[in-house]
Amino acid sequence: MPSEIIVVSGLPRSGTSLMMQMLDRGGVPVVTDVIREADVDNPRGYYEFERVKKIKDDAAWIPEARGKAVKMVSQLLYDLPSSENYLVIFMERDLDEVLLSQEKMLERLNRSSAPRDQIKPAFVRHLNQLRVWLAAQRHIALLDVRYNDLVAHPEQQAARVSAFLGGRADVQAMAAAVDPALYRNRKPSGEQSV
Amino acid sequence: MVKVKIEPGLYDRARRAAAAAGYSSLDEFIADCIEKGIQRQKIEEQEGPVSDQLRGLGYIE
């Protein structure tokens, strides 16, 4: 069994659950506890593992994730123990679409969202700093996958992911998991964003 | 290299934690913990709004 831990990461609402679903369909074992159930925001499930959120204080589960895929929000990547090797699939999506989707989710949860003009630069800074840090980590290999490319060209992107994982995932099965109907929070056409 | 003193009880707990997490040595584990602590402090100082948003969405605690 491969010893690397596959980490699917990115900002919330950037397509991390979709990538986990693709890996699952493609035959890659996934680490999930199904505590957070599917809902209107993620109709096919979140593919989360609750202990990931506590990784700052408890990383004892990490060795058991070797050869498997686990989902982890971008900010928690800093807490990955350097005693392991990781293949990080980082989902990228237009930041305005990410924030729009987050705002809708927060509204459904009856929680407040920071004003867009404040939170957007904070996320840009977060991503820039994370990129610098990731580039310096010898125990982390990185593959960026753009959400829009994934929806537009599922087979092409699935092939990239499978190659990154050493060919261990079924490309056709992964591509079949992509449903363009679930690409809902689009920014108006013609609008540009960082 | 410099030496740092810690209580024997903490040393034993750290040794067990390092072994459970798969570190090759206690030194490696402690160095990683210190790096993470510094990084966490930096994140908390600089990424307050991001942390609040991620917490609200249920992705961190």
- In angstroms, what separates the C-alpha of A122 from chain B's closest C-alpha? 6
* CB-neighbour burial class of residue A17 (10 A; exposed 0-12, middle 13-18, buried 19+): buried
Q: What mean pLDDT value characterizes chain B?
A: 89
Q: Which parts of chain B sit beneath pLDDT 70?
A: none
Please indicate whether, in this complex, the C-beta atoms of B46 and A53 are within 8 angstroms of each other: no
Report CB contact under 8 Å: B22, A129: no
Residue A141 CA to residue A4 CA, distance in Å, equals: 10
Least confident range of A6-20, A40-54, A98-112, A148-162 = A40-54
Q: Pick from A174, A167, A173, A172: which is nearest to A2 by CA?
A: A167
CB half-sphere exposure, A44, CA atoms < 13 A: 16
Backbone angles phi and psi of A79, in degrees to 5: -95, 5
Contact (CB, 8 A) for A93 and A192: no
Please give the share of chain A, as a percent, with pLDDT higher than 90: 73
Number of residues that make up chain B: 61
The pLDDT confidence band at residue A192, using thresholds 50, 70 and 90, is very low
Instruction: Write the CA distances from A112 to A61, A122, A123, B54, integer angstroms.
Output: 32, 16, 17, 12
Give the pLDDT band of residue A194 (cuts 50, 70, 90).
very low
Q: Which residues pair with A30 in a beta bridge?
A: A69
Q: How many CA atoms are closer than 13 Å to the CA of A22, on its beta-carbon side?
A: 31
Strand partners, A146: A92
The answer to whether the beta carbons of residues A78 and A132 sit under 8 Å apart is no
Domains in chain A with CATH codes: 5-176 (3.40.50.300)
Q: Which residue of A has its CA nearest to B23?
A: A83
pLDDT band at A193 (very low <50, low <70, confident <90, very high): very low
pLDDT at A36: 76
Per-residue pLDDT tens for A108-155? 999 988 899 999 999 999 999 999 999 988 899 999 999 999 999 999
* Cβ-defined contact of B49 to A112 (cutoff 8 Å): no
Q: ipTM value, please give it.
A: 0.82
Residue of B nearest to A56 (CA): B36
CA distance A11 to chain B (A): 9
